[in-house]
Structure 1
Amino acid sequence: MSIRTPQGRVIGVVILLIFILTCIPSSTPSTLTFLPSSISSRIRPERLKWSSLRDRLSLSEKTWQRSVELRHQMAGLHPDNPQIPLFPAQTLADFGKYPYTLWDFFPATWTCPHDIQRVGRLGDGGKWVCGMSLYEAIPGPADSKSAPSAADAAPVIYSFGINGESSFEAEMLERLPSAQIWGYDFSVNGWGAQIAESARDRTYFMKAGLGEKDEAQREPPFFTLPTLMAKNNHSYIDILKIDIEGNEYKALDSVMDHFEVNGEVPGVLPIGQVMIEIHVGDNKDVNFDRFSKWWERLEGMGMRPTWMEVNLMAVTLGSKKSDPRCAEYVWVNAKDGRNLLWRGLDA
């Protein structure tokens, strides 16, 4: 009988169904059952180094510390240390011997011990957040009849450098119903249109810049981060976003100067994690020696690089400034006991 006839097609379908039903197992197996027995038998749970949060933190510290040692080793072998060119792959004739850029010395080797999610639009504007699910677990106003405990206090977010693009802040407000965001930018008059009207009551904007010193009489004014925190009655920031076009060096110098002696925990920044775009190339005050000392001072105060992506916009646009002059980093504060990411560390 030909399968082109109606009877033939019916018989063909019946045969196919019988084949499928006889081949599919009665229950869905675990993913691990697909591992070859030679591999699964070699996995010993007691040998895993990330069985607890404390173990994962310890492992992250070890891998990060190893990268610091390699950084110093690689810099010490370079003939131009400490004045290593920021982009020697672009400027040295002997490309094969020194194919480095600045970013190769400072990789993101400290592993976030939780989930890490991208928040905001793709491309420029979106940011990566370590432990986003932990922030989402904080109850919103409608989730509790009583005021939240200190451990569940509303996340405090600061954002410097808005430039009309607020997709990161908009998504944070949407996903964290108790979050509040303080924004500052001297070049625009307010938040971007991405923030919904229903969330605007949890945002605070000031047309001002982040600077190395307070300049209240300047128009627009500039303030240091400690001054703004005091104005807002904040002793702690959960998430700090910074994109201030090269002014981050002096601005963070003043932050470190202040909290090195005046912090609740001296020598530790009162900031859970930082999303920052770092700019080099145009700033003549920033060379390898200056950058290294600035970076390692931040590390000394608890900050660890857990995510990195080089901004290749200048390269792909084919401009004359074709070096990878900007990089996005996420720093997590590994020394900060108030960091939401370490909740349950001793459990």
Structure 2
Amino acid sequence: MMGDGGKWVCGLERATHHKNCVIYSVGVERQSSFEQEVLRQGKNCQVYGFDFSVTQWGPELRADTEVNPRAHFFPYKIGAVDNHDVKPKQYSLQGIMTELGHEFISEFGALKAVIESFKGKPLPFRQMQIEIHLNLAPDFIKTIGQFDKWWTLLGDARPRPFWTELNLLDVNVIRRGPFVGEWSFINIRGRHALLNDSLPDYP
């Protein structure tokens, strides 16, 4: 969406041209043009979306019958532990990956519970793209100091930012902020092809 911040991805073609390309999208809301474009670029890609606040993908992806059979939506809440007795069902990242039979994922949006659930172990992705809202932060962030603790937690897990872009729609149309920004991170921990060209694209 113009002005709503794009997604800057490093080495996207290395993932989208692989026969086992898997993309996780956490927090779908109502706009799915990024996922649509990934599926158009990667004929073998499968995108898995997770969001308990909506019931389906955004209209762009739903209308694109060429690629939407490879888009899979789940009304799940992402948390630190698995709890299927609550509504909406809560899944840890490991629980989702186990259910879907995935060992390593290419991209997803993640927050505190996902990072903490790995308890210091390497996170299972090469990079992530995330939209950060300072005015709509999660409940555990009430002050700049708390946000700094979350940012430090993210840094300790070893994703490193390589791009950021302010959300101009938030500034120019809604007339507030800037409170919203797009961020792109490379995971510098572990062994994968974005860090070492001698390695295969997938472990």
2:182 to 313, 320, 328: 328
Between the aligned residues of both structures, percent identity stands at 32
Deviation at 1:285, TM superposition (A): 4.0
What CA deviation, in whole Å up to 9, does each residue of 1:117-156 have, x standing for no partner?
xxxx433264111112323443xxxxxxxxxxxxxx5121
Query: Equivalent residue of 1:128, what SS?
Result: coil
Residues 317 and 198 of structure 1, relative CA distance in 2, 3 Å threshold: closer
Contact kept? 2:5, 2:166, Cα under 8 Å: no
Larger Rg: 1
User: Distance between the aligned counterparts of 1:166 and 1:305, measured in 2?
Assistant: 23
Highest relative contact order (Cα 8 Å, sep 6+), 1 or 2?
Answer: 2
Residue of structure 1 equivalent to 2:67: 199
Question: What is the letter of the counterpart of residue 257 of structure 1?
Answer: E
Q: Which amino acid aligns with 1:184?
A: F
- The equivalent of 2:115 in structure 1 is 256
Which among 80, 96, 99 is matched to residue 228 of structure 1?
96
Match of 2:14 among 125, 134, 144: 134
Matches within 5 A, 1:230-309: 230-240=98-108, 242=109, 252-261=111-120, 266=121, 268-283=122-137, 285-286=140-141, 287-309=143-165
Q: Classify 1:275/1:334 alpha carbon distance in 2 versus 1 (closer, same or farther; 3 Å).
A: same
Structure 1 residue 315: Cα displacement = 3.0
Tell me which residue corresponds to 1:245: none
Distance 1:218 1:184 in 2: 16
Which whole-Å CA distance do the structure 2 matches of 1:272 and 1:301 have between them? 12
Larger deviation: 228-237 or 129-138? Answer: 129-138
Aligned positions of 1:308-323 closer than 5 A: 308-317=164-173, 319=175, 322-323=176-177
Could you tell me whether the CA contact under 8 Å between 1:183 and 1:203 is conserved in 2? yes
**What SS is found at the alignment partner of 1:305?**
strand
CA distance 1:260–1:219, shift in 2 (3 Å)? closer
Equivalents in 1 of 2:67, 2:198: separation in Å? 32
Runs of 4+ deviating beyond 6 Å: none
Is this contact kept in 2: 1:211–1:222, CA < 8 A? yes
Which shows bigger deviation, 158-167 or 129-138?
Answer: 129-138
| Pairing partner for 1:341 from 147, 170, 194 | 194
Which aligned pairs between 1:36-115 and structure 2 lie closer than 5 A? Answer: none
Number of corresponding residues: 196
Cα distance in 2, alignment partners of residues 309 and 125 from structure 1: 7
Cα pair 2:5 2:167 within 8 Å, conserved? no
Whether 1:166 and 2:38 are equivalent positions in the alignment is no
Structure 1 residues 202-226: Cα deviation after superposition (integer angstroms, max 9, x where no partner): 2211112223443423333232222
Instruction: Provide the TM-score with structure 2 as the length reference.
Output: 0.83
Matching of residues 116-131 of structure 1 within 5 Å: 121-124=1-4, 126-131=6-11
Segment drifting more, 286-295 vs 296-305: 286-295
Shift of 1:327: 1.3
Is contact 1:156-1:238 (8 Å) kept?
yes
Letter in 1 for 2:131: E
Q: Comparing 278-287 with 203-212, which one deviates more in the overlay? A: 278-287
Q: Under a length normalisation based on structure 1, what TM-score does the superposition of the two structures give?
A: 0.51
Q: Secondary structure at the match of 1:238?
A: coil
Residue ranges of structure 1 left out of the alignment (5+ in a row):
1-120, 139-152, 243-247
Structure 2 distance, partners of 1:136, 1:182, is 14
Is 1:188 the equivalent of 2:44?
no
